[in-house]
Structure 1
Amino acid sequence: MKGYQLTLYTQQNRRHEGKMLADWIVALAMEMGLRGATLVSGIEGFGHNRQFHSHHFFEMADQPMLILLALTEAECDALLQRLEREGVPLFYVKVPAEFGLMGSPLDG
């Protein structure tokens, strides 16, 4: 199948509707019937404003978070439009991708 790998970037301390933004996006992907989303915790990085974000031993609030999704063009457009309507501030990378399943069906 052809589509996109969409990577959304945020930090652990960002919230939307009272939830951690990354968790809210994963739940939104499930609600929209998307085939999956993977939440990845980063160790450190910096954003467009040159502000350093890092996972600290005692304080992880500023920890970088990535949400990875494999989407068809229609799914990608629908998700980005929904995030825009919600007013969610995010940096994203949208890369053309080919994806599919191999072997026997996976559990979960």
Structure 2
Amino acid sequence: MQIPRQAVLLRIFIGENDRDDGRPLYESIVLKAREMQLAGATVLRGGMGFGHSSRLHTAKILRLSEDLPLIVEIVDSEERINAFLPVLEGIMSSGLVTLEKLQVLQYGAKA
């Protein structure tokens, strides 16, 4: 699979405790992206953050499992990302979703 040079970054901000039908939401997002054959997805775990509630989430020693912030990033063509958005909307109850146009310089092995 080749990503076009002009692509889109889909960035999804959620929390570790967010769920989709009993499973971690980040897991559902990655599996659905794979099922739809998007180019790839990465889940990044944040050490500290806050969202619309302004509740602070931190990885300090005494609060190690306190719903840390997660970011799921997916890069693909604008058309494929746009096709994924309704699926994402169907499984997310809260969170922040951003889209960013970008230029891909390299993906996968060079031929």
Q: TM-score per shorter chain, which class?
A: 0.7 to 0.9
* Aligned-pair identity (%): 27
Query: Aligned-residue CA RMSD in angstroms?
Result: 1.9
Q: CA deviation at 1:51?
A: 1.8
Supply the distance in 2 between the matched residues of 1:11 and 1:87 (Cα, whole angstroms). 11
1:77 pairs, out of 58, 77, 82, with 82
Instruction: Give the drift of 1:104.
Output: 3.1
TM-score w.r.t. the length of structure 1 is: 0.84
The answer as to 2:43 corresponding to 1:43 is no
1:62 pairs with 2:67: yes
1:103–1:18 distance in 2 versus 1, CA, 3 Å: closer
Moved more, 64-73 or 81-90: 81-90
Contact in 2 for aligned 1:15/1:21 (Cα 8 Å):
yes
How many residues are paired up?
105
Gapped regions of structure 1 (runs ≥ 5): none
Matched, 1:96 2:101: yes
Contact 1:22 1:67 in 2 (8 A): yes
TM-score by length of 2: 0.82
Unaligned runs of 5+ in 2: none
Report the alpha carbon displacement of residue 88 of structure 1 after superposing the two structures with TM: 3.7
